[in-house]
Structure 1
């Protein structure tokens, strides 16, 4: 079956195929009559559209519904497996990769450990290993991938270059998109990791249905992102959400309260230190509880500033520390109530550590929609 990568779109537009594809993607399997009704086309016209889409590999017939009298009507669905997407979370300590179909359904995930001081060649090699392992796990090759979407730390230019990165100094000035294009023969898009995480929470996580959101990316480092009127806000220079860089916001070093608590046993790895403190606080240890209170004090300063500025419907606590929301959210809520004119709904992430790589997949889906399924749409600037 033919694989379409955009070259046949002029023909598809002539057949109203973009409308049909969009309808099938949003509604699932439909009969010709139902599809014609939803698109406003006549049934004979829709039959021609569907036949052409099946020939091109975009649509397939589904097995007939069980039960009922008489011959069941044929039903059709978007062929999400006609191509694949890869999402990347390139962090300071881990590189996560996910493989998904064109609807964003994740099929396989892998992880490669790194360190903030890992040399660039080794970091790129780890990215390659993560993607290769993920593809092997999903039974695919890089030739099956249409888009690789990568999220990483720092201020990312629209072209995919890392303008500034405090957490990984060698990252500053690095042309990540350019190097990924040398590694992978497909479209590449790059975005800030916190914005991808916010997108994931809005699409399939704790912020679904919310139009104005502040996302707190909490872990061994701090990040933030904002959603305004249902859209992830990048800002004029793609630096929106970088409030942690303001010392007075008290966010950049907030995690030190949890990672350097005096009760942590000597020899505990940095990756486990904060978790040890939080577990001890959950068990009632007074020293650990005091550390959590200091952490909440700092976290509330920058968070309240964003809340007072944006008046969001929802604040989402996301990232690695969100798994400990039972310990962290109550003191944060208490402080926000004191500081904010209107208290937003403060929620824990439902995606945890997977928020960035999941958001990368959702970003790839959105890019593909814009690239292929929007009539006459220009290519995004991040291409």
Structure 2
């Protein structure tokens, strides 16, 4: 595309198109605006709106809607109504985790239209795990009847420190993940934009969109597990840090200032081996049954988790901390966290449990894909707004 200038008519057309499309997409279903409605909402002239709508219909993003019931019964020709075609494209949100692959399908309005998941061995190689991703998404596409060519964007949430191009710079939770060009590998399968993000970051986005953090723009989401991670929103925007490593609180023990997870959860004096969720679940079961050593291990785990979170809260001063991951279901995790934050923080945040549970990562990945498509559709409007 050539360089646009302030007087370039093509820029004006793009601005008008983005404004009208935004108005149509924002109309609450089943309402379908008329041309008169669009003129009022956008402030554009009627001939301009008519021309833009015809152009958007040519692209397949807008379609003429049927007349509403009352209008159809009146004499004379009813006013033409239009709607944004949410079904004009589709999005995928994928979670690639240690034990499972999960995928969500949505239309361009963000409405979930299908889901699929499959178990995967924690010891699976990178190639085996990616093969499982392909099989899960192929199943979902076939079940929903969506051709692969209709995908507009794919979001992916995965453990590890993820660079902007989708390469996993460090990923110790999954075998063969460190250094993996995950974004490039997946783009070969989907042939559309693929956005890869850290799983805790994706979950933070999800809770802000559809979960416990709706209405809160300064949020810390804690993905509490064997090696806890955190994602944060500042002013409603995801904070990744300079290198994508913001919120990696699970790495604090590597600095030598804390015990490792294997030591924290040990009931024998020797590091817990193997360190996996089955072993850890056994420790928590023993603690509930009254085993003193297991109870002490659980107490150490809780204490270290809340101290890690407190350090992040002191740095970011969020309004809300949301706790998710498998440890969020542990009895009593929220109250100790509230007590520790009240002890250490000048203004303790609210603490809530995730409302999305094990769908948080895939939901956040879906939201990232939707954000990408919205940037494409409304980029001109956003740019102009930013310059004002």
TM-score class, shorter? 0.7 to 0.9
From 303, 310, 314, give the equivalent of 1:308.
Answer: 314
2:261 counterpart residue number: 253
The count of corresponding residues between Structure 1 and Structure 2 is 359
CA distance in 2, matches of 1:62, 1:252: 61
Larger radius of gyration between Structure 1 and Structure 2: 2
From 329, 335, 341, give the equivalent of 1:336.
Answer: 341
**If the length of structure 2 is used for normalisation, what is the TM-score?**
0.83
2:27 counterpart residue number: 27
8 Å Cα contact 1:194-1:225 kept in structure 2: yes
CA distance in 2, matches of 1:314, 1:284: 33
From 22, 38, 41, give the equivalent of 1:38.
Answer: 41
8 Å Cα contact 1:249-1:302 kept in structure 2: no
Matches within 5 A, 1:166-185: 166-185=172-191
1:371 counterpart residue number: 376
- The alignment partner of 2:379 has SS state of coil
1:89 positional shift: 0.8
- The alignment partner of 1:118 has SS state of coil
Matches within 5 A, 1:137-156: 137-156=143-162
CA distance in 1, matches of 2:214, 2:267: 35
From 213, 232, 235, give the equivalent of 1:229.
Answer: 235
The CA deviation string for residues 302-343 of structure 1, in whole angstroms up to 9 with x for no partner, is 100011111110001022333x26632122212222222211
2:64 counterpart residue number: 61
8 Å Cα contact 2:228-2:305 kept in structure 1: no
> RMSD over aligned Cα, in angstroms?
3.0
CA distance in 2, matches of 1:357, 1:314: 21
Matches within 5 A, 1:189-208: 189-208=195-214
**If the length of structure 1 is used for normalisation, what is the TM-score?**
0.84
CA distance in 1, matches of 2:277, 2:186: 28
Q: Does residue 241 of structure 1 match 2:244? A: no
The CA deviation string for residues 50-97 of structure 1, in whole angstroms up to 9 with x for no partner, is 232223211123344445884765432211110111111111111111
Q: Does residue 165 of structure 1 match 2:171? A: yes
From 189, 209, 214, give the equivalent of 2:220.
Answer: 214
- The alignment partner of 1:342 has SS state of coil
1:265 counterpart residue number: none
8 Å Cα contact 1:292-1:328 kept in structure 2: no
8 Å Cα contact 1:255-1:295 kept in structure 2: no
From 129, 139, 146, give the equivalent of 2:135.
Answer: 129
1:372 positional shift: 3.2
The CA deviation string for residues 203-255 of structure 1, in whole angstroms up to 9 with x for no partner, is 12111121211110113442111111111001111211112211167597289
1:191 positional shift: 1.4
1:112 positional shift: 2.1
Gaps of 5+ in 2: 1-9, 269-274, 384-388
8 Å Cα contact 1:221-1:255 kept in structure 2: no
8 Å Cα contact 2:161-2:171 kept in structure 1: yes
| 1:49–1:270 CA distance, 2 compared to 1 (3 A) | same
2:350 counterpart residue number: 345
CA distance in 1, matches of 2:47, 2:279: 65
2:17 counterpart residue number: 17
